[in-house]
Amino acid sequence: MSGLDLLLWAVLPYVALTMFVVGHVWRYRYDKFGWTTRSSQLYESRLLRIGSPLFHFGILVVLLGHIGGLVIPKSWTEAAGISEAAYHVTAVALGTVAGVCTLAGLAILVYRRRTVGPVFTATTRNDKLMYAVLTLTIVLGLAATVLANLAGDGYDYRTTISPWFRSVFALSPRPALMAGAPVLFKLHALSALALFAIWPFTRLVHMLTAPIGYLTRPYVVYRSRDVARTRPARRGWTA
């Protein structure tokens, strides 16, 4: 294990995570007004209606897949009676379908962003950077999965990458586990770290405020005049 590995797999993850967490806190405190999806549906909805659900539902399945593969240890699924082969087939099939949907949706959305005048005008440099990193991450992830399965039986990341991923959160990183992973998986992890690092400063913040609470709250919200704005009352006369 080289110094570079140490840097990439034991230092960088914490840098990215810190930026992710602190960045979100900072953004929430100082830029609540900017915390929005910045939807462009008002300008165009024909392409959006296909691309956006394709991308978003795709990426949600991908997210679930990552939780299943990275967070849940192999021993648990095996204890539950799921064999490595069964897991692998399901993961590859579901992951590929979801990945392709995500990528197709993203392609439609990027095409729309570039070709529909008002949408392109509303695209900031921040958006362009975010799109580049996001696309790179998705392409690398999909490529790693597909190529590994085309070349052989696929790569069992649950013995290397997953324990490394969990070790980062356990605050005792094991960079050696990652050092031996195929290069595509490494690149995918690195671009994902970059994505997490820039996440709080892009429009992606909308993900963290996904409106799940809507399912349970009462329909009509009543609120009193802004209490937060109250300041200590001053005397009504001058000295």
Partner 1 sequence: MRVMAQLAMVMNLDKCIGCHTCSVTCKQAWTNRAGTEYVWFNNVETRPGQGYPRTYQDQDRWKGGWELNRRGRLRLKAGGRLRKLLTIFANPLMPSIQDYYEPWTYEYDRLFSAPAGEDTPVARPKSLITGQDTRITWSANWDDNLAGAPELAPADPVLRKVSDQVKLEFERAFMFYLPRICEHCLNPSCVASCPSGAMYKRSEDGIVLVDQDRCRGWRMCVTGCPYKKVYFNHRTGKAEKCTFCYPRVEVGMPTVCSETCVGRLRYLGVLLYDADRVGEAAAVPDEKDLYEAQKSVLLDPRDPEVLAAARAAGIPEDWLEAAARSPIHQLIFEYGVALPLHPEYRTMPMVWYIPPLSPVVDVLADTGHDGEDAGNLFGAIDALRIPIGYLAELFTAGDPEPVRAVLRRLAAMRSYMRRLNLGQPADESIAAAVGLTGRQVEGMHRLLALAPYAERYVIPTAHPEQDGRPEELVTGCSLDYAGGPGMGGPFGEASGRPAPVAVETFHALKERQETGALVDPADRAERVNLLNWDGKGLPEGLFPKRKEDS
* Other beta carbons less than 10 A from residue 168's beta carbon: 20
Smallest distance, partner 1 to C-beta of residue 197, A: 22
DSSP 18-41: HHHHHHHHHHHHH-STT-S----T
For partner 1, the binding residues in 159-188 under the rule CB under 8 A are none
For partner 1, the binding residues in 218-237 under the rule CB under 8 A are 219-234, 236
Which segment (72-80, 115-123, 132-140, 157-165) binds partner 1 by CB under 8 A? 115-123
> Which CB atom, from 64 or from 89, has the smaller least distance to partner 1?
64
3-class SS at 112? helix
Which segment (4-12, 50-58, 88-96, 163-171) binds partner 1 by CB under 8 A? 50-58
Confirm or reject binding of residue 45 to partner 1 (CB under 8 A).
Answer: yes
Among 30, 117, 171, 183, binds partner 1 (CB under 8 A): 117
Contacts of 98 (CB under 8 A, 6+ apart): 58, 59, 61, 62, 65
Residues 125 and 112: their CA atoms lie apart, in Å, by: 16
Which residue type does 74 have? K
Residues 50 and 235: their CA atoms lie apart, in Å, by: 60
55 close to 102: Cβ distance less than 8 angstroms: yes
Report the b/e string of 206-220 with b at 16+ CB within 10 A.
eeeeeeeeeeeeeee
93: its two tokens: 């099939």
Run of H or E residues at 157: none
113 close to 203: Cβ distance less than 8 angstroms: no
Which segment (4-12, 51-59, 73-81, 155-163) binds partner 1 by CB under 8 A? 51-59
Smallest distance, partner 1 to C-beta of residue 49, A: 4
User: What would the x/- binding string for partner 1 be over residues 5 to 44, using CB under 8 A?
Assistant: ---------------------------xx-xxxxxxxxxx
> Which CB atom, from 152 or from 211, has the smaller least distance to partner 1?
211
Confirm or reject binding of residue 56 to partner 1 (CB under 8 A).
Answer: yes
Q: How many residues bind partner 1 (CB under 8 A)?
A: 50
Among 16, 19, 48, 101, binds partner 1 (CB under 8 A): 48
Confirm or reject binding of residue 115 to partner 1 (CB under 8 A).
Answer: no
Applying CB under 8 A, which residues contact partner 1? Answer: 32-33, 35-45, 48-49, 52-53, 55-57, 117-118, 121-122, 206, 209, 211, 213-215, 217, 219-234, 236, 238-239
